[in-house]
Structure 1
Amino acid sequence: MSRQRSMETILASEFVSIGELVRLTESRYSTLKFYTEEGMLSFEQAEENLTRKFKRQTTVARILLIKELKSNGLSIPQIKETLEMDK
């Protein structure tokens, strides 16, 4: 049985998991994992169980920005460059 948190709980949380980001942004898990591995999404890692946790508000905003840039025809290298300038 799955132990998913409710959307209400997720929206009230400062930190979320990658699975919860999937639900919040309607993105694919593999896509968000790729963005994380490419350094496009930052996270904190809990030492005890190596779970990655993402700041909900800033990460959702960044994912939406990436989606917008992709829809405007930018490539991943161009998006990464744009994100670097946005820091």
Structure 2
Amino acid sequence: MSRQRSMEVIQQSEYVTIGELVRLTDMRYSTLKFYTEEGMISFEQAEHNLTRRYRREESLERIYYIKSLREQGKTIPEIKEILKNN
């Protein structure tokens, strides 16, 4: 098991893991994994170890946008349609 990176390092990194997104957003791992599997958050796959890497800034913006839509009462299908049209 690898050692966790510090928040300072994570906040300056171009790419982060889903676990680091959990730490940055204080959202549940299962929620972020669901958003990923539903195509709501994009990622890149590292070839050497098959780790999913997320662009930190882009992912944070998307996650907070999804969160705001959920707070407005939008359903997942509605949010997926909104994201598709943006």
- TM-score category, normalised to shorter length: over 0.9
TM-score, normalisation: structure 1: 0.95
Runs (5+) with no aligned partner, structure 1: none
Query: Aligned-pair distance for 1:85?
Result: 1.1
Opposite residue 77 of structure 1, the aligned amino acid is P
Opposite residue 65 of structure 1, the aligned amino acid is Y
Query: Aligned-pair distance for 1:20?
Result: 0.3
Alignment of 1:1-87 (within 5 A): 3-86=3-86
**RMSD of aligned Cα (Å):** 1.1
Runs (5+) with no aligned partner, structure 2: none
Q: Structure 1: how far apart are the matches of 2:11 and 2:24?
A: 9
Q: Structure 2: how far apart are the matches of 1:14 and 1:49?
A: 18
Secondary structure in structure 1 of the residue aligned to 2:85: helix
* Count of residue pairs brought into register by the alignment: 86
Q: Identity of counterpart residues, as a percentage? A: 65
